[in-house]
């Protein structure tokens, strides 16, 4: 969220380039992001650093989180930036003119006004991360019992001919995605009343 706020409020040099880079993971196939992560984390200096720190991200469970974060945070940052963009900077200026510090104006004025958009961005990011398949498959592979998050487990079940189990997993994914989206819709309707 700090990045989204900075992109919304600060005149940053290269803001167009930053915005394009943040949009890129949304329009590229997720498998391309997985390949980019695989190449980046297998690059010799990065690989040596990982080994010094005692872990390796490619083909690991922590790597799943990295792949999910790259795609989910991109969506979250775009939504959070839109939420901050929708709030006039004038409100912050008025709060500052009345004696508030920048941090206090942010906490008491901007954040409450942006809250619905911030929550929506968080839900979108979470559901996107939960549904990630392509980047995880390329970056972490599909290993039963190690990297088989729900979308990968469904893929493995289909390939093994366990269609009933794959259907059950798909339904579980649909319900897990529907619940927060439905709750968000209810929250939005309640606020509008």
Q: What is the pLDDT of residues 156-169, one digit of tens each?
A: 999 999 999 999 99
pLDDT for the residue numbered 191: 56
Task: Report yes or no on 193 lying in a domain.
Answer: no
Whole-model pTM above 0.75?
yes
- Structure-block tokens of residue 52: 């010094």
> HSE of 189 in the Cβ direction (CA atoms, 13 Å)?
6
Task: Report yes or no on 114 lying in a domain.
Answer: yes
Task: Report yes or no on 131 lying in a domain.
Answer: yes
**Three-state DSSP state, 132:** coil
Q: What is the pLDDT of residues 60-73, one digit of tens each?
A: 999 999 999 999 99
What does the alpha-carbon distance between residue 137 and residue 112 come to, in Å, rounded to a whole number?
Answer: 38
Contact 126, 135 (CB under 8 A): no
Q: Please, what is the end-to-end C-alpha distance for the chain in angstroms?
A: 28
Task: Report yes or no on 171 lying in a domain.
Answer: no
Q: Which residues of the chain have pLDDT under 50?
A: 192-193
Our count of domains for the chain comes to 1
Residue given tokens 């930053």 in the structure block: 18
Task: Report yes or no on 123 lying in a domain.
Answer: yes
* CATH assignment at residue 10: 1.10.3720.10
pLDDT for the residue numbered 193: 47
pLDDT for the residue numbered 148: 85
Closest CA to 75 of 143, 131, 12, 150: 131
The parent domain of residue 44 ranges over 2-143
- Cα 124 to Cα 54, 78, 131, 137, 179: the distances in Å are 33, 10, 11, 21, 12
Task: Report yes or no on 161 lying in a domain.
Answer: no
What does the alpha-carbon distance between residue 9 and residue 85 come to, in Å, rounded to a whole number?
Answer: 8
Task: Report yes or no on 44 lying in a domain.
Answer: yes
Q: Kindly compute the dihedral angle of the four CA atoms of residues 22, 43, 35, 147, in this order, to the nearest 10 degrees.
A: -110
- Residue 148 DSSP class: -
Task: Report yes or no on 174 lying in a domain.
Answer: no
């Amino acid at each position: 969220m700090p990045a989204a706020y900075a992109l919304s409020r600060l005149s940053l040099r290269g803001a167009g380039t930053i915005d394009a880079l943040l949009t890129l993971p949304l329009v590229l196939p997720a498998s391309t992001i997985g390949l980019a992560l695989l190449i980046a984390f297998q690059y010799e200096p990065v690989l040596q650093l990982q080994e010094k720190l005692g872990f390796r991200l490619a083909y690991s469970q922590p790597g799943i989180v990295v792949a999910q974060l790259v795609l989910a945070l991109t969506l979250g940052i775009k939504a959070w930036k839109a939420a901050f963009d929708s709030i006039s900077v004038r409100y912050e200026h008025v709060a500052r003119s009345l004696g508030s510090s920048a941090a206090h104006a942010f906490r008491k004025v901007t954040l409450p006004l942006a809250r619905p958009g911030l929550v929506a961005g968080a839900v979108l990011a979470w559901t996107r991360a939960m549904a990630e398949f392509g980047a995880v498959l390329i970056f972490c592979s599909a290993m039963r019992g190690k990297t088989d998050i729900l979308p990968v487990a469904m893929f493995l079940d289909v390939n093994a001919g366990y269609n009933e189990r794959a259907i059950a997993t798909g339904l579980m994914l649909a319900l897990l995605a529907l619940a927060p989206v439905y709750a968000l819709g209810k929250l939005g309707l309640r606020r509008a009343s």
